[in-house]
Amino acid sequence: MPTRRLEREDLIAGLRELVERLKLSGDSASIRIDWLNDNATIFIPTLGKVPEWQPIYDDSHVSVWVLSAEALLAMKLMANRPGRDEDDIAALMTICGLATIDDADTLIDEYFPGDALSDRGLRMLTGILRQGLPERSPEPAEFRIG
């Protein structure tokens, strides 16, 4: 018996259901209502190391995958948005086991060959490292919806 193809409408319906279940769950993770988006896809590295994706939710209708911590860190280092990325960069540096500017440069070169930290990015990272990186947080509990 042939299986039915997944159509665009199926995806949209599944995503709507997922968002509704998130709204109703009252999950203590404090997930913002706009967390499910693809706004950053244009910044995903395509020339260097192939970014790895990790599933965080999967059921019979929808699966949600996130970019690896390494790839996210490389993207945030390249974006170097003062006032917006410092906490994320510090946490991701800890998660990835990186502790120096050289470590960050090496990571950027892996994902974005030929690119490097801008002067602004270097100043931001220097400030982050001067303040000290956070302790590694415990792994989050399994992501549950509804």
What is the tens place of the pLDDT at every residue in 59-103? 777 777 888 999 999 999 998 888 889 999 999 999 999 999 999
- pTM for this predicted structure: 0.69
Query: Residue 145 pLDDT more than 70?
Result: no
What is the tens place of the pLDDT at every residue in 9-41? 777 777 778 777 767 766 555 666 676 666 666
- Compute the distance between CA of residue 47 and CA of residue 28 in angstroms, rounded to an integer: 38
Whose tokens are 């159509």? That residue is 7
In this prediction, residue 86 carries a pLDDT of 94
What is the tens place of the pLDDT at every residue in 96-109? 999 999 999 999 99
Q: How far is CA 75 from the centre of its chain?
A: 9
Judge whether 82 and 126 are in contact, CB under 8 Å.
Answer: no
